Each structure stands twice: as structure tokens, then as C-alpha cells.
Amino acid sequence: MSLSLASSILYLAPDRVTLRARGAMHTAAVPGAPGWAGALAALQTLLETQRPAGQVAVLLSSHFAPLWLLPGAPTRLNYQETRGWVEAQAAERFGELAANWRLAFRPAPAGEPLLASAIDAAHWAELMHTLTEAGLRMAAVASWPALALARYGKHGTARLALVESGRLTLVSLLRGELVALDSARGEADALTGLLTRAALVDGLGDAPLHLVGTGVAGELASAWAGARVLANAAETAVLRGRAEPDFLQTRPRPPLAAWLLLAVGLGLAALAGTRYTALAEQLDILSVPETTVSAKPRGTRVVASPEASARPWGDLLNRLESQRPKQIALLSLRGDALRGEARITAEARSPADMLAWFKALRADPDLHEVSLVRHELQVEDEQQPLRFELRLAWGER
């Protein structure tokens, strides 16, 4: 997504946070040990002192949102199917760690590799809460290497080193097309190893090396005498441009013609649906193996396994309803009563409401292994609720 519409741009790294607002650059050093907690504290300091307003674009260091090149699907997939494919590839590559990540990806044709990124789900919720409390709206959230790649990755055939403090991402480009991507901790020492591995897999031979840095020290840059420096300054961390994949984008934005076709299709579907409903009522074929409980205006859909009698399924629903704050709307509850495992889909008015309920569930002694699977801001909804999914176990373990 383009960052040009944002009034402010933020860059979060383990050692510092940089803000570009109203044409000026502001930097806050991380207090204490580098890491996410320190970066969040530095962000809060910047927001309190500089008070940016309007829309903000957030660029995350690859420490917090690494960039990967995942194998592409062998057949053509729609957006939701591609998301499932990316989730499966991440799970295969990183195991259980991927269960607590929010993933973003750039769609690609069948057979072509997918550019993807991830951020810890808890970090994402804390970031959203911090920016929302400051009265800011997010225009885009992306990994910084994705921005640097989009801006400087069209230099023919070359290897492009994207350098941040303590982290390096190396991408191999063949006539501007991404063919390989690798990353490592460190800077000068790491580059040698990355270049050796890249030469074995990318087929680029003695392709030139280009460097984009976020303010690499002079003596460090001089260690790469053979590299052509395209940019290397603190301002590089908060450049405007196009950054994909974007963590805010839950589906591709269709062109105007697609919206017109959708409107026509919805009209025809509504007509067909009315006729089908009338016929179905006459034939009494509308029964389905699901139970709908009208707990709230939206309703909570409960889908139990055939062994529902094995665990007190109704007790779980009653417990969730009684503990649910009014800021949370339950949308669905699916699970296996025999194993005592369930997945909850709900919506919250704000990230703070979601986190508060999540912590309350984790504190419940009768619930176990409560984890946040995913959450997405419903940008198409006028109220922009936060839809999220939880996984938990209940009963005796």
C-alpha cells in the first residue's frame, strides 16, 4: 500500500523509534535493553511529545516483522485460499511459532513465490492500542525491507542488501524480479555468509551488490567497498513509497469495474435468494446440523462435534456469555467437546477491549491454553471493529 496519504510515518526498531511528521524528523532512543517493550516505550514518548495527528503509516524493523519468500501455490487460488496456503507454509517452516503470528502477503500468480511477512499477534495488538489511544488512524503497516525493496528493487539484475542495525536482508533480483531472499542477524559479518548462500541458489553469478541502509556507520559501510550505496541515512527508515505486503490489507482492493460487476451480481443474487428461500420453506429443507443461539443482535453460532455430551458444552457457552464485556460481540464458537477444545470468533470495539477480555480468559482457572490466533481490523465496516479468533481448552486436563 502507498504511504503517500499518511500524514506521519513511524519506524520501529529494537534500538530506536523514528517519526517523520510535519516535515521534520524525530527520534527516541529505546530505554534499557533493545527489544519490543523498549520500542513501545520509545513510541509512547514520541507520541506524547510530538502529538502527530491524522493517519500514520508504520514501518517495522525486520527484527519485529521479518520478510520471507515462500513457495507459491501450484494452482491459481483466490485471496482467502492464498491466505490459507501462506499460513500452511509458515506452519511447515516455523512450526508452532506461526500459530501466534499475524501474517501478511503479496499475492502472486500460480507457481510464483510469495512475498510474506509476520508480526507477533500480541505485539500487533499492543501497537494498535498505543496508536488508537493517541487518536491516530493507521494507513499502512509493513516491514521496512518491503518498502526498501519496492523503492530500490528495480535495478535490473543485482543483489540488494537491506541493512538495519543488527539485521540484514539480502534479496536477489533478476531483471527486477525477486528470485531469492535471505536474512540474518548482524551486519558486516553476516553479509559474507548471505552472499555465499545466495551465489549457490539464485543463479545470478557475479551480479553487482547494491546497499540500502537506515544509517549504517561509515566504517561499517567501508567494509563493503564493492557495493554500490543507493541510500544510507536515518531518513531512509521513514521514506514514502509503496510497501507490500501490508498487514492492514485483508483482501485485494478491486478496481471500479469490479465494484460495478459486484453490484449487478448482488442484485441478481438477492433475487435468486428470495426465490430459493420461498421454495426451501415450502419443501422444509432448511435444517442444518448447527444450532443458532440468539445471545446478542449478531447472534452466536455454536457448532459442536458429535461427541458434544462428553464435555459440558453449554456450560462453556454460559461461562463465555457471563464473562463477556459489552464491548465484545461473540460471532461463533466451534469446538470438539470430547477433547475440550474450542475456537471463538468475536469482535471488539478496540484493541484494548480485545486484550482485556483475552487476559480475563487466561486468568480463568477452568480455561486452559488460551491463545490469540489472529485478528483483523474490519476496514469495510463503518465502525471498523476488530475481529479476532481465540483458541482455548476447558474442563479437566
Residue 100 grid coordinates: 501466534
How high is the pLDDT of residue 296? Answer: 43
| Beta carbons within 8 Å of 209's beta carbon, 6+ residues apart | 158, 159, 160, 161, 195, 224, 226, 227, 228
State the pLDDT confidence band at 143, using cuts at 50, 70 and 90: very high
HSE, CB side, 13 Å, CA atoms: give it for residue 303: 10
* 385 contacts 348 by C-beta, under 8 angstroms: yes
* 303 contacts 316 by C-beta, under 8 angstroms: no
How high is the pLDDT of residue 262? Answer: 59
C-alpha distances out from residue 375 to 103, 152, 198, 269, Å: 10, 31, 35, 29
HSE, CB side, 13 Å, CA atoms: give it for residue 297: 3
* Domain spans of the chain, in order of start: 254-286, 291-394
Q: Give the mean pLDDT of 266-290.
A: 50
Residue 34 grid coordinates: 533493545
Outline where the chain has alpha helix (H): 36-50, 79-94, 121-133, 144-152, 188-201, 218-221, 256-283, 313-323, 351-363
How high is the pLDDT of residue 24? Answer: 93
Whether 315 shows a pLDDT value over 70: the answer reads yes
Maximum average pLDDT range among 94-98, 145-149, 175-179:
145-149
For 291-394, CATH number?
3.30.1360.100
For 348-385, give one letter per residue: b (16+ CB within 10 A) or e. bbbbbbbbbbbeebeeeeebeebbbbbbbbeeeeeeeb
pLDDT in tens, 18-53: 999 988 999 999 998 999 999 999 999 999 999 999
Separation CA 125–CA 390 (nearest Å): 13
* 374 contacts 390 by C-beta, under 8 angstroms: no
Rounded to the nearest integer, the mean pLDDT of the chain is 81
How high is the pLDDT of residue 336? Answer: 74
How high is the pLDDT of residue 267? Answer: 64
| Beta carbons within 8 Å of 340's beta carbon, 6+ residues apart | 311, 393, 394, 395, 396, 397
Q: Give the mean pLDDT of 90-115.
A: 90
Q: Give the mean pLDDT of 141-163.
A: 90
How high is the pLDDT of residue 294? Answer: 38
